[in-house]
Amino acid sequence: MQKYMRWSGMLVVLMLVLAACQSDGGGASEEPSSDGGEPSASADGGSGSAADCDADEFGCIELAEGDPLIIGTALVITGANESLGLDSQYGAQVANSLRPEVAGHEVEFNFQDDGCSTEGGTAAARALVSEENIAGVIGTSCSSAGIPAAEILSAEGILLVSPSNTAPSLTAPETHEPFYARTAHNDSIQGAAMAQFVCEVLGLGSAATIDDGSAYADQLAAVFASEFQSQCDGEITAEEAVTVGQTDFTGVLENIAADSPEFLYFPIFVAEGALITQQARETSGLEDTELGGADGILTPDWLAAAGGAADGVYLSGPDLAFSGDFYADEFLPAYTDVSGESEPISVFHAHAFDAYNMLADAIEEVAFTDGGTTYIPRTALRDAFMATSGFEGITGTLTCDENGDCADAKISVSEVVDGAFERIWPE
């Protein structure tokens, strides 16, 4: 396994070097229909004609010679959860720095803020829709923003690839929007993994959950609760909700403490997560209760905000124990260059990196040139993306299903030990 990972890491590096050197980015080695190679080939990489654009329900992205190819982002880049979105944005920028040209056009970003809210997602999506010729969007950070954004962008035939949306409903068959895909794991996996960890590793039999009403927390808490009950016959003592922006959780915690659960699961975001951590430690009746959260607070910001109370908290999140050299040798230095941070500020940079490259591959697969103008048919782009199979990225080998779930989901659980995350499960 180790060896395999290293080998695939090398392959990624090779891909990227190729992509960086050659304008056509022939790195899509696993894409059978893409015929990389000399620049001239990229001129009509995907064979097509203007008729294809008329046939395509949403038409083509048309780029005159020298026009930039615009990729939008809709990530949370301000406010309490900015580390989540900025981290993904840096991941995409790193991918861009290694692969600045796609289909013979320089890539330019249009950065929007999803505000980690439904409203922010709506506003960001609307702003991106109004950008002419936008090729695709990387985002959103938060599931609550992803739900309206997917709806809006799908109506315009714009592909939205999220590096960190995890709510199950986004890719559930009945609610999936056609132009939505994600490289992040689905919470039906994360919630189940956490439930398994709590009963099998920690050996606890009762739990309470707190969500903040957001799509992410609401669904993750629900998955955890149902898995905890069905997988290991655990008891859920309370399913509470708090409000974003609240600072005083005494009442909620006392209410939960009335049933003295053995585990308290709060898969929410940084500001409230830190306060609940601290206040739970000071609530009598919860002294012996273990605390746990999810990837929303798996960031140094939360550690700093929760201070000493964070020690001993269990957090689930994507498994970043990539064994490939590429991550340590190439990605992290480039990340530092782009962001000015000494280490990643959250956990979804690799997913954004993969999202960028998958998007770029799909674009190059379907793009064709006619009289100096590059055409990218939108529906074909979507189909090519959804057909991605066996893509070797940093986060694993990604294969998309028809509902846009592309992640090679690996969940790990970390414990906070002396103010730092320590990966403890699976061994």
Partner 1 sequence: MSPMVRRALTLGLFGGIAGIHVSLVGIVNTFQTRDLIADIVTIGSVIPMLIAIMVGWLAGRAPRHAAELAAPTALGAGAVAGAVTGTILALLAILVDSVSLTWILVNARPQLATILQFEQGPVVGSVLLIAGGAALGAAGAVLHILPGAIARSIAMAGIITIIVALMEPFIGAVLRNVELRAIEGFLYDSGGLTLPGFILVFALIGAGVYGWATRGDRARARVEAMPPDRRRAAKIAVYLATIGILLILPQIVGQRLSEVIGTVGIYVLLGLGLNIVVGFAGLLDLGYVAFFAVGAYTTAILTSPASPVFTPELPFWGALPFVILAAALIGLAVGAPVLRLRGDYLAIVTLGFGEIAREIFKSAWAQPVTGGAQGILSIPEPIPFSRDPQSIYYPILFFCILAAIAATTLASSRVGRAWNAMREDESVAEATGVNTIKYKLLAFGLGAAFGCLGGAFFGAKIGVVFPDSFNILVSINALALIILGGMGNIAGVVLGAFVLVGLPELLREFAEYRLLIYGVVLVVMMLLRPEGLLPSRSRRAELHEVKDEDDDDMYADEVGEETGRPVVTA
Partner 2 sequence: MPGRRIRLNFVNLFLWLLGGGLLAFAAYGSFLTLIEGRIQPNQWQNLIVAGVALGSVYALIALGYTLVYGILFMINFAHGEVFMWGAFTAFFAATALNDAGMMASNPVLAFFLVLATSMLVSMVVAIMLERIAYRPLRGAPRLVPLITAIGASLFLQYTARGFYGSGVRAYPDYTIFDGTISLGFLSLSVKQAVVILAAVGLMVGLYLFINRTRTGRAMRAVSEDKDVAAMMGINVDRIIVTTFAIGGLLAGAAGILYTLIFNQVLFFMGFLPGIKAFTAAVLGGIGNVIGAALGGLILGVVEQLGPNLFLSGYGVPSPNQLKDVIAFSVLVLVLIFRPSGLLGRKENT
Contacts with partner 2, residue ranges (CB under 8 A): 78-80, 82, 239-243, 245-252, 254-255, 257-259, 270-271, 274-275, 278, 282-285, 301, 304-308
* Min dist. Cβ of residue 238 to partner 2 (A): 9
β-strand partners of 291: 264
The only residue of 75, 147, 193, 363 in contact with partner 1, by rule CB under 8 A:
147
* CB of 198 or CB of 286, closer to partner 2: 286
Instruction: Please say whether the beta carbons of 159 and 382 come within 8 A.
Output: yes
User: What DSSP designation does 405 have?
Assistant: B
408 binds partner 1 (CB under 8 A): no
Length of the chain: 427
Instruction: Please say whether the beta carbons of 294 and 186 come within 8 A.
Output: no
What region, left, alpha or beta, does residue 404 occupy, with left being phi > 0 and alpha being psi -120 to 50 degrees?
Answer: left
* CB of 309 or CB of 384, closer to partner 2: 309
Of 43, 413, 95, nearest to 263 (Cα)? 413
* CB of 126 or CB of 410, closer to partner 1: 126
* From partner 2, partner 1, none, interface partner of 117 (C-beta below 5 to 8 A by class): partner 1
3-state secondary structure of 400: coil
* From partner 1, partner 2, none, interface partner of 119 (C-beta below 5 to 8 A by class): partner 1
108 binds partner 1 (CB under 8 A): no
Of 132, 80, 105, nearest to 304 (Cα)? 80
* From partner 2, partner 1, none, interface partner of 151 (C-beta below 5 to 8 A by class): partner 1
Q: Give the helix/strand (H/E) hosting 245.
A: none
* CB of 80 or CB of 359, closer to partner 1: 80
87 binds partner 1 (CB under 8 A): no
CA distances from 24 to 235, 281, 309, 333 (A): 56, 56, 51, 25
What region, left, alpha or beta, does residue 144 occupy, with left being phi > 0 and alpha being psi -120 to 50 degrees?
Answer: alpha
* Min dist. Cβ of residue 162 to partner 2 (A): 23
Calculate Rg over the CA atoms of the chain: 22
247 binds partner 1 (CB under 8 A): no
215 binds partner 1 (CB under 8 A): yes
* From partner 1, partner 2, none, interface partner of 59 (C-beta below 5 to 8 A by class): none
β-strand partners of 417: 420
3-state secondary structure of 370: strand
* CB of 65 or CB of 200, closer to partner 1: 65
* From partner 1, partner 2, none, interface partner of 122 (C-beta below 5 to 8 A by class): partner 1
* From partner 2, partner 1, none, interface partner of 402 (C-beta below 5 to 8 A by class): none
3-state secondary structure of 237: strand
254 binds partner 1 (CB under 8 A): no
* Min dist. Cβ of residue 328 to partner 1 (A): 28
Find the part of the chain contacting partner 1 (CB under 8 A) among 21-29, 96-104, 236-244, 407-415. 236-244
Instruction: Please say whether the beta carbons of 392 and 11 come within 8 A.
Output: yes
Structure tokens at 72: 């939008």
Amino acid at 244: V
The only residue of 183, 214, 283, 395 in contact with partner 1, by rule CB under 8 A:
214
Return residues touching partner 1 (CB under 8 A): 78, 117-119, 122, 126, 130, 144, 147-148, 151-152, 212-215, 218, 241, 243-244
